Amino acid sequence: MARVFDAITDELHAFISAQPLFFVATAPLAADGHVNLSPKGLDCFRILSPHRVAYLDMTGSGNETSAHLLENGRITFMFCAFSGQPRILRLYGHGRTVLPATDEWTQLQPLFPNHPGARQIIAAEITRVQTSCGFAVPLMEYTAQRGTLIRWAEARDDSALDAYWQEKNRHSIDGLPTPLAVNLADDQE
């Protein structure tokens, strides 16, 4: 049973906070572009207000979300109950990438764990909040967060991380620039 809310309520806030995993989806405007759907963990999601959220985005092999947001801003977050009462929650909105060394980064970064390898923050204004039943989502037991990404980032210094981002995270798989590419171009002017 789908239900639409005007904002993230206190009950939905509690539901989100209890989930160890969420998914983020974005897509380019091009009809032949690749839709992106990524799982996220590591206690990196924050509710800033009933209509505003953000998450700490860690180093990855790609940077699709950031490229799509730069192009069109559309974003959807999904949370699923894998234990307890069944529920799916989707937050629809318009997002943007917040890079280190900006005023907004300075304001938002203290809200998150100090994970090595954090490359950017994704912030979004939420325009639609919707729940659905989740009756077909399996019951699963949460064991722990994986430490692999943290250990990978800890094994690299800042220059090695930056080199990785410049090699792997400047463009989407469809060739769209990310804010990392745009910021680098601005720095070189």
The four Cα atoms 124, 178, 61, 26 give a dihedral, to 10 degrees, of 40
| Radius of gyration over every alpha carbon of the chain, rounded to an integer in angstroms | 17
Mean local confidence (pLDDT), 115-119: 95
CA distance 125 to 20: 22
Of 74, 86, 59, 88, the C-alpha closest to 156 is: 59
Q: Number of H helices and number of E strands within the chain?
A: 6, 8
| Cα 119–Cα 121–Cα 137 angle in degrees, nearest 5 | 105
- 56-66 pLDDT, tens digit per residue, is 999 999 999 99
Between CA 23 and CA 177 the distance in angstroms is: 22
pLDDT exceeds 90 at position 149: yes
Mean pLDDT, rounded, for 126-152? 96
Q: How confident is the model at residue 147 (pLDDT cuts 50, 70, 90)?
A: very high
Structural domains in the chain plus CATH codes: 3-138+145-188 (2.30.110.10)
Average pLDDT over residues 32-50: 97
- What's the pTM? 0.94
